Structure formats: C-alpha cells, structure tokens
Amino acid sequence: MQSPVYLWTLPMFHCNGWCFPWTIAAAAGTSVCLRAVRVEPIYELIKSERVTHFCGAPIVLNLIAHAPDDMKAGIDHKVSVMTAGAAPPAAVIQAMEELGFDVTHAYGLTETYGPAVVCAWHDEWNELDISEKARLKARQGVRYSVLDGLMVADPETLEPVPRDGETMGEIFFSGNNVMRGYLKNPSSSAKAFAGGWFHSGDLAVCHPDGYIEIKDRSKDIIISGGENISSIEVEGVLYRHPAVMEAAIVARPDEKWGETPCAFVGLKPGATVTEQELIAFCRANMAHFKAPKTVVFGPLPKTSTGKIQKYVLREKAKAL
C-alpha cells in the first residue's frame, strides 16, 4: 500500500479505527474525514479525492451498495474495502464486488486489539463465479501473522472441533495482541481466559482448509424445539431477497417451541413484500424449521458504528 487515500467511514473511536490511524500514517497516506456516514458524501469523496481504501461494518457496505445508480457512476479507479464488526452476508459482499469494489473480510474483537483474523484470498478462487467468491469471502478465515493461536473448540474441554465445516464450537485466541484482562474485573478476566485461551463468545465451524466461519454469537443462537438455529444463516437468506435492505433475526419466546426466529426487516425504497412472502422465501431456501415465524417491518436500531442493536430487538420480540 503506497500513499493510500483513506476515507474514514469507520469511526476512529471504534477499536482505535481498527488500527488504521497508525497504518495510514506509516504508509504516508492521506486521511479523508466524514462528519457522518451518509452515502452521498461517501460517493462524492471517492470520486473527488480518488479514495483508494476505506473500512466499514457490513451495514455500511449495504448502504453503499444500494445507493441510487447516478451516485455510483463515475468511479474509474480501484477501491479496496475492509469489512468487519459483524459477520457479513454473502449477498452484501457480492453487491459490493459487482460494483467493482475489492472487499477484504477481517474479524476480531476489542479484546484482540481489533482485526486478528482475515479471509486470506487464494488466486485460484478468482476463477469462480461471483456468488461463490462472495460465499468464500464471507468466511472469517485464518489468523494474522502476529496472532499466536486461533482455534474453534468445545467451550468446556477446549478440544478442537473436526475440520468438517459443520461441527460448531467457540472461537479461541492466544497471542500478545490479545488483552491481559478486563480492568479491575478479575472474575470476568478469569472466566474469559479459562484454560489459558481467550474465549470470544463467537460460535463457528472450521472448514477442511482451516478457514473458520462464524455461525453466531453464543447469546444470539436460537434454540427452537431443541434445535440450534443460527441467526446469521437466516439473515443471509433474507438479504438475498430483492426487496430486503437490512435484516436481523432474534429469538422470540414461544410456549410450544421455547423460542422461534423473529425477523426484523427494513425494505429497499419503493419495495413491497408481505410477511408470508418472506417466510415462504426463507422456507424455500433453507430447512423449514429455521425460517422465521414472525416478520416485523421497519427501520432497525443501530449503534454509532453501524451495528444493529439486537438487544433492543430482543426486547421488542418479547413484547410482541
């Protein structure tokens, strides 16, 4: 990266801007700042300042991908994008790639000083069709060189799960870029480092090639009739529907099943779709028991960094 022009769509206060304040300074780059994450100035600055790099959570990429066509026109140079902060739906990555943006998917937590895992790209994957490339890019990937250890393992025994892409476990980190502990909270620190590894709270599978893929946060897994349902998997299907702009799945209490998936959906401008149509779309693209039983339409609450506030949605689902 030589003299990059970096657009600050990612707040610097969010985990030290994923370490990019130092990266851009070290590379003698130019920082282009925004007062707010709005799609109009993003496209204007990419063109006028010839921005080469920016970062953003998947919800920000989704906003950029679904901007009006006249905004998208006129970008005649390469723009590289890093996304992290939440597991990105493959449909969002595909939409960005179709616009010509080169997306890199990274993963980490504040406790790992930001990104510590990356979906390192293989040249032979360039021969695949765009939907398959997007599916591969949606995986979290492999450890950074500065991270000593990364594994998906049983949270109780710390026994690594098979590399079969199916057996779910928790993601564990070790290395000098992992925090020492939580400030003045020894009990939480001891729990987080039980067994000598940092427990991320993220549930994932490990593929035969060693790449990990997040399936959910442990607190977001929906247990319906004794079956585990990944909210991320259901969201990925919803994002493929042409009317859906954004989606989030949370558990709704149910007397019969314990919990059932409840979908909160924001539609694209001018788009219309009914609750039953979305449920039928999900049932046609995944196991029927995983499909949402309820769909609520409207804007989704978000943090200042663009993350969807699922704890707010969980309370709304309980109140339905």
How far is the CA of 248 from the CAs of 29, 262, 289, 293, in angstroms? 36, 8, 17, 13
Average pLDDT over the chain reads 94
CA distance linking residue 20 with residue 106, whole number of Å:
13
One-letter amino acid identity for 22?
W
Helix axes of 39-48 and 58-65: crossing angle, nearest 10 degrees: 80
pLDDT at 304 over 80: no
Please give the pLDDT value at position 53: 98
Give buried/exposed letters for 296-314 (b at 16+ CB in 10 A, else e): beeebebeebbebebeebb
The pLDDT value recorded for residue 87 is 87
Q: Is the pLDDT of residue 6 over 90?
A: yes
Instruction: Check whether 151 has a pLDDT greater than 70.
Output: yes
Is residue 1's pLDDT more than 60? Answer: no
Task: Pick 5-138's CATH classification: 3.40.50.980, 3.30.70.890, 3.40.50.450, 3.30.420.40.
Answer: 3.40.50.980
**Residue 2, pLDDT above cutoff 80:** no
Q: For 41-54, what is each residue's pLDDT tens digit?
A: 999 999 999 999 99
**Phi and psi at residue 64, in whole multiples of 5°?**
-65, -40
For 68, the token pair is: 């009006």
pLDDT tens-digit map of 265-290: 999 999 999 999 999 999 999 999 99
Residue type (1 letter), 17: G
The fraction of the chain above a pLDDT of 90, given in percent, is 88
The residue behind tokens 């063109």 is: 47
Confidence of residue 303 (pLDDT cuts 50, 70, 90): confident
The per-residue pLDDT for 235 is: 95
Q: What is the pLDDT of residue 305?
A: 73
Residue 187 CA to residue 238 CA, distance in Å, equals 39
Determine how many CB atoms are found less than 10 A away from the CB of residue 127: 8
Residues 195-247: pLDDT tens digits?
Answer: 999 999 999 999 999 999 999 988 899 999 988 899 999 999 999 999 999 99
What is the domain partition of the chain in residue ranges? 5-138, 149-217, 222-319
Class of domain 222-319: alpha beta
pLDDT above 90: residue 136: yes
Instruction: State the average pLDDT over residues 48-77.
Output: 94
Confidence of residue 306 (pLDDT cuts 50, 70, 90): confident
Would you tell me which CATH number, out of the four given (2.30.38.10, 1.10.287.1770, 3.30.420.40, 3.90.1150.10), belongs to the domain 149-217? Answer: 2.30.38.10
Rounded to whole angstroms, how far apart are CA atoms 85 and 141?
14
Distances (CA, A) of 202 to 121, 151, 183, 198, 218: 22, 11, 22, 11, 6
* Residue pointed to by tokens 């009317």: 243
Q: What number of CA atoms fall less than 13 Å from residue 1's CA on the CB side?
A: 19
